[in-house]
């Protein structure tokens, strides 16, 4: 029983490891010319190859350990299995803490709203209405957004668009802005769990993020507003 269990545990990490390595190798190879279709085909090939090699590696590892491994090798494999699964558990916990979402703060008798304003130079808009040129999304979490074009206003050479978010769940306070095909990520200056109303932050530029664009022209600011339930909110910039 001990030998069989060791064979199973070893196969459970050796097989996937070989599969991931195979997929990475296929994706690393130069992509044939042919555009997106060739890239998708190569990705699918890498995935299928990884699955097949991983499954074959699992079965082969199980057979070798079950039928061929000596007692000294079994002892070494048991230690290695323990290390691998502890590392995997710690890695899984780290990923969970990094990406896990939590319920938004709740306040008895109040409705909480996240206000975000996006400021764009008029020269970038080229005469277009700001609500048609940009889209604003809550970053890491779940929220319903409301855009009020009638609240858009000019300040000097800029146009400002207010957006309201009713936040349901979040990982952190962030928003994404899309402007004419480019994407910008903004990390909001908000407490982790606001105890009450939070006034307007300073204007903030986007932050570096892999595969996202950068600009210093578009900036955002944010605040957290509580309104008693049953009372209509009066908007004020």
Q: What is the 3-state secondary structure (H, E, C) of 115-128?
A: EEEEEEEHHHHCCC
Residue 164 pairs with which residues in a beta bridge?
115, 146
- What tens digit of pLDDT does each residue of 103-129 get? 888 899 999 999 999 999 999 998 899
> By the 8 A CB rule, do 184 and 213 touch?
yes
Q: Which residues of the chain have pLDDT under 70?
A: 1, 31-37, 95-101
> By the 8 A CB rule, do 225 and 115 touch?
yes
| pLDDT at site 42 | 79
Q: What is the Cα–Cα distance from 122 to 189, expressed in whole angstroms?
A: 25
pTM of the model: 0.63
What does the DSSP 8-state code read for residue 216? S
| pLDDT at site 100 | 66
Phi, psi of 64 (to 5 degrees): -65, -45
| pLDDT at site 3 | 83
User: Cβ contacts of residue 128 below 8 Å, gap of 6+?
Assistant: none
Structure-derived torsion over alpha carbons of residues 136, 149, 160, 194, reported in degrees to the nearest 10:
-60
Q: ∠ CA(89), CA(47), CA(78), 5° rounding?
A: 35
Q: What is the Cα–Cα distance from 114 to 136, expressed in whole angstroms?
A: 13
Residue 177 pairs with which residues in a beta bridge?
136, 184
The radius of gyration of the chain from alpha carbons, rounded to an integer in Å, stands at 26
> By the 8 A CB rule, do 190 and 211 touch?
no
Long-range contacts of 24-33 (CB under 8 A, 24+ apart): 26/50
Strands (E) across 21-109 are located at 102-103
Q: What share of the chain is helix, strand, coil (3-state, %, to 5)?
A: 40, 30, 30
């Amino acid at each position: 029983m001990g030998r069989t269990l060791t064979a199973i545990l070893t196969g459970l990490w050796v097989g996937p490891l070989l599969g991931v390595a195979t997929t990475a190798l296929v994706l690393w190879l130069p992509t044939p010319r042919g555009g997106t279709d060739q890239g998708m085909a190569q990705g699918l090939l890498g995935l299928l190859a990884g699955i097949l090699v991983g499954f074959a590696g699992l079965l082969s590892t199980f057979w070798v350990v079950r039928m061929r491994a000596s007692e000294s090798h079994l002892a070494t494999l048991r230690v290695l299995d323990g290390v691998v699964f502890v590392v995997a558990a710690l890695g899984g916990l780290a990923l969970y803490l990094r990406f896990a979402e939590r319920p938004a703060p709740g306040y008895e008798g109040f409705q909480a709203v996240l206000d975000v304003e996006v400021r764009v130079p008029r020269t970038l808009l080229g005469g277009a209405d700001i609500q048609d040129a940009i889209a604003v999304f809550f970053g890491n979490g779940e929220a319903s957004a409301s855009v009020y074009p009638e609240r858009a206003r000019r300040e000097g050479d800029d146009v400002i668009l207010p957006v309201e978010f009713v936040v349901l769940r979040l990982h952190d306070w962030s928003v994404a802005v899309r402007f004419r095909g480019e994407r910008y990520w903004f990390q909001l200056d908000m407490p982790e769990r606001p105890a009450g109303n939070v006034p307007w932050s300073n204007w903030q530029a986007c932050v570096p993020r892999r595969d996202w664009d950068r600009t210093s022209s578009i900036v955002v600011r944010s605040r957290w507003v509580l309104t008693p339930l049953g009372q209509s909110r009066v908007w004020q910039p």
